[in-house]
Chain A
Amino acid sequence: MSAPADERVPGDAAVPESEAYTLTVNGRPHAVPSAWIGASLLQVLRRELALPGAKDACEQGECGSCTVLMDGVVVDACCVLAADAVDADVRTIEGLGDAAVPTDVQRAFVAAGAVQCGFCTPGLVVAVHDLLERSPEADTAAVREALSGNLCRCTGYGRILAAVADVQRERAGRTARADGDADRASRTGDEGGAA
């Protein structure tokens, strides 16, 4: 079922190439000079733009390993026609964090043992970041629902759910500390104002 490394057949008029186009990925324009018209966003990210973070597994919108953000919503890059993604804001795992500067979600995945073979991890990390932006206090059912489009064959999901909970606790703690600081500051200010 898997497609060959390159669908283009040089000189085959029945397989036209698209005109050149530009994709905006992680805030930067990327020229795509001559991709095959039928190429998916996943194929173009990996083969033309050297952004292999989105993984290529089922290529039919089932596994979620190619999850990216397109105009702020999670989609499967394998189900997006790359030539139709012009003028969209595409965000991939490369735009979130890397080994040198991992995000809190990536650190939590590593710490909780939520990464085993690692193939599903980039898609899951994108999905978790999206969920916690929209819904920082998502309960377990909401987390499971939000990650239902990201298959993991190694972990059994327990460690992944634990990692998400760790991030939620850590972020809530930071917010509480920041609120506490703000409260103390505002109380001091109030007392000053009331006096």
Chain B
Amino acid sequence: MPIARPSTLDGALDALASLPGADLLAGGTDLMVAITHRAHRPRDVVALRRIAELDRIEVTDTHLTLGALVRWSTMAADLTELAPGLAMAARSVGSPQIRNAGTLGGNLATASPAGDALPWLVALEAEVELASPAGTRTVAIADWLTGPKRNARADDEIVTAVRVPRTDGPQHVAKVGPRNAMVIAVASVALVLDRTARRVRVGLGSVGPTALAAPEAAAEAGAAIDWDALTCPEDAIERFAAGVAAAARPIDDHRASADYRRHVVGVLAGRTLRRCLAA
């Protein structure tokens, strides 16, 4: 039987064990395009959408755990208070039709350099939660994203959730593409001002083989910010923008040149920091 439609995580792990190498199908917005355009030929499929335990949002005092099957439309509607940066990123994804189908786990599994949730997850140093017949493990997002469309999943594993710390402070996500709707990012930035830790957290999209952090630029900006007033000298904002641009590792491709991407990601870094400070 080439397709399994389990309704529990255990059922999915069993199905994957009996169909080794099967495609894991969530919202279909990446996999179906690859199949239809013949970039991928499916042999077996484990369809995950019936697994209710993966479609949940758990909130504790310190952390937010987002199930792999949480859809963009849910993130955009339900996370505006808990994870405003992720909600902003979700609103920028595709179209209403795509946001109703695509999932957070799918974004993690596809691991595109342009994955819209990934800069925010990098900024928050998220942990990817995985299950296999042997048990569970967590992988830091920086270790999960191993290259363009590559990740650290073992063949018998399923992404179950992603966990991020809850932070107090403004967040902003900005993305540049050729138009407003249905755009794959040419460059994007997710910025989180973590008032408790007095840290600037930043993640960059579409300017490297994976979503990237910019730790040096973030640390320098964090030191320059007056965390009580939430202000920052203009020259420090400019240095942050330049530091983020320097941290990018962009390439030339059919969407944009490396030089343009480096320029844009710097502009977005300054813009997101100003937006957060003005919030």
Contact = CB atoms under 8 A, between A and B. Distances in A.
Given A16-B43, A78-B36, A64 B25 contact: no
B41 A148 contact: no
Contact of B36 (A15, A60, A67, A84): A60
Interface in A73-113: 73-76, 78-81, 83-84, 86-87
A38 interface: yes
A79 B5 contact: no
A14 to B, nearest CB: 8
Contacts of B28: 79-81, 84
Contact of A3 (B29, B37, B96): B37
Interface stretch (B97-105, B127-135, B212-220, B225-233): B97-105
B29 A79 contact: yes
Between A59, A74, A150, the greatest number of chain B beta carbons within 10 A of the residue's beta carbon is seen for A74
A60 B45 CA distance: 19
Contacts of B1: 19
Contact of B96 (A38, A59, A78, A145): A145
A162 interface: no
Given A15-B41, A67-B97, A76-B101, A60 B33 contact: yes
Interface string A1-18: 101000000000011111
A121 interface: no
Contacts of A80: 28, 32, 101
A31 to B, nearest CB: 16
Interface in B1-26: 1-3, 5, 25
Between A3, A38, A74, A149, the greatest number of chain B beta carbons within 10 A of the residue's beta carbon is seen for A38
A76 B96 CA distance: 9
B154 to A, nearest CB: 24
B36 A3 contact: yes
B2 A148 contact: no
A40 B37 contact: no
B181 interface: yes
Nearest to B31: A81
Contacts of B49: 84
Interface in A43-78: 43, 59-62, 64, 67, 73-76, 78
B47 interface: yes
The majority secondary structure among interface residues of chain B is loop
B265 to A, nearest CB: 25
A62 B32 CA distance: 13
B59 interface: no
A127 interface: yes
Contacts of B180: 148
B136 interface: no
B95 interface: yes
B45 A61 contact: no
A165 interface: no
Contacts of B32: 40, 61, 78-81
A138 interface: no
Interface in B225-264: none
A43 B95 CA distance: 21
A37 interface: yes
Contacts of B147: none
Nearest to B27: A79
30 contacts: A3-B38, A14-B41, A14-B43, A18-B2, A18-B3, A19-B1, A37-B2, A38-B42, A40-B32, A60-B36, A60-B37, A61-B29, A61-B32, A64-B95, A75-B100, A76-B101, A78-B32, A79-B28, A79-B97, A79-B101, A81-B47, A83-B3, A83-B45, A84-B28, A84-B47, A87-B50, A149-B96, A149-B181, A149-B182, A150-B95
Closest 7 CB pairs of A and B: A149-B95, A148-B181, A84-B47, A73-B100, A38-B35, A60-B33, A76-B97
